[in-house]
Amino acid sequence: MKKTLLFIFLIVTIVCKVRSQTEISDLAAGLSEPSYLVTSGTDLYVIGSNNLYKVDTTINNPTPEIIYTTPADFFLVNLAINGSELYLVLENYVIATDTFLGGKISSLDLNNPTNPPVDIYTASNYISSLTNNGDTIYFTEEILVNPPDFEPFTTDIKSIESNGMNIQTLVSDFLDTSVTRGMVYTDDTLYLSSSDDNTVYSVDVLQANPTPSVSVDNLLFNRGIFYLGTELYVTEGNLLRKYDLSDPNPTTTATTIAENTTYEDMNNNMPFFANFRDVVIIGNTAYMTLRDQGLVVQAEDTTLSLDSFNSNNDLEIKYFDNKLHISGLKEKTSETVIYDLSGKKLLSKSININNNTINTKFLATGVYILLVENQTIFKFVK
């Protein structure tokens, strides 16, 4: 299929600046070619080439549940989630005749996953990645320069509403023959992981004519990304690394969170450590996929230890009556943000010593993360 023919990344050796903090452990096995994943509470939704899986992270050795299988000649490429609605990117490719027929974005109702997905957008081109802000879907579409030749191509960044209306091209010719593997949205900004350019780009979607800029470069075989607070998690070959985007030079202060030194792939009879395909964070645990091993693996982010979630030398947080009560504040105003476990920003508020409560009545039952002044993290359960 097109993605296999075009883009094969083989890593024999990776030299890293910071030693890994945590070796991975298995969460779930038996998936067929798992790649990208999203979270819903404590559940993972993971795509393989043909199957969509649900994995319960609260269970030891969970059995992946297949909740959707593609029809013949269709393959899953990427996904995003909006409440109970899952947005799927599919590639239409006929293996028998080596014929690429286009790509599409469809919506699957997780409350009724046996119902066929509803098509939102279809194209004669390959759609490589997507993310969303509520009902607005952002995606990358590869435009062939000399069709039907797969190369060269350029990449457009587009948006569309989940009802199929209001399609827009935000950026034309974003990349030249460089595929976008991962894509996330936060605070009116898109982050796009280009594995060919070894770079994560950012795009301000509120600009009249958005211009991509470099957020992190000099990466190593980067694919999936996940944004939390001010930090960007990036899968780089057999490493998971974290970059603080509030730092003007995030590559100089990057932290290696996890490393795979257990599972290997082969290239011309030479072994190399298998590459992570994507990453999400739930609480202080990172979950990654190993495609050829059929695994979802996990590792604790020790920089988000339970102590840093629940306590701080200066601040004390108590939760009752649907309110967060924060004591230990200084005279100056402090900025706070509440995220869900998928990294979606739900609320921001300025607080101070005289106005030190945050109303959470609007939140559904679940686990959330409170970020104070972009540096102190607390986890609370409603």
When pLDDT is cut at 50, 70 and 90, the band that residue 311 belongs to is very low
Residue (of 96, 95, 138, 86) closest to 3 by Cα position: 95
Looking at 248, 279, 301, the residue that finishes a domain is 301
Shared-domain flag, residues 296 and 351: no
Q: Scanning the structure block, which residue is given the tokens 């540096």?
A: 375
pLDDT score for 356: 83
- What are the pLDDT digits (tens) for 229-286? 789 999 999 999 999 998 999 999 999 999 999 999 988 889 999 999 999 998 789 9
How many domains does the chain fold into?
2
Domain of 326 in residue numbering reads as 306-381
pLDDT score for 229: 79
Shared-domain flag, residues 295 and 312: no
Q: Inform me whether the pLDDT recorded for 71 exceeds 90.
A: yes
Shared-domain flag, residues 250 and 333: no
Shared-domain flag, residues 290 and 358: no
Q: Inform me whether the pLDDT recorded for 51 exceeds 90.
A: yes
Shared-domain flag, residues 297 and 315: no
Q: Are 50 and 93 in contact (CB under 8 A)?
A: no
Shared-domain flag, residues 44 and 84: yes
Shared-domain flag, residues 244 and 312: no
When pLDDT is cut at 50, 70 and 90, the band that residue 170 belongs to is very high
Handedness of CA 308, 275, 225, 35 (dihedral sign): negative
CA distance 112 to 281: 26
DSSP 251-291: GGG-EEEEE--S-EEEETTEEEEPPEEEEEEETTEEEEEET
What is the CATH classification number for the domain harbouring 368?
2.60.40.3080
Looking at 301, 336, 357, the residue that finishes a domain is 301
Looking at 251, 275, 301, the residue that finishes a domain is 301
When pLDDT is cut at 50, 70 and 90, the band that residue 21 belongs to is low
Shared-domain flag, residues 254 and 314: no
Shared-domain flag, residues 193 and 285: yes
pTM value is: 0.80
Q: Inform me whether the pLDDT recorded for 42 exceeds 90.
A: no
What is the CATH classification number for the domain harbouring 200?
2.130.10.10
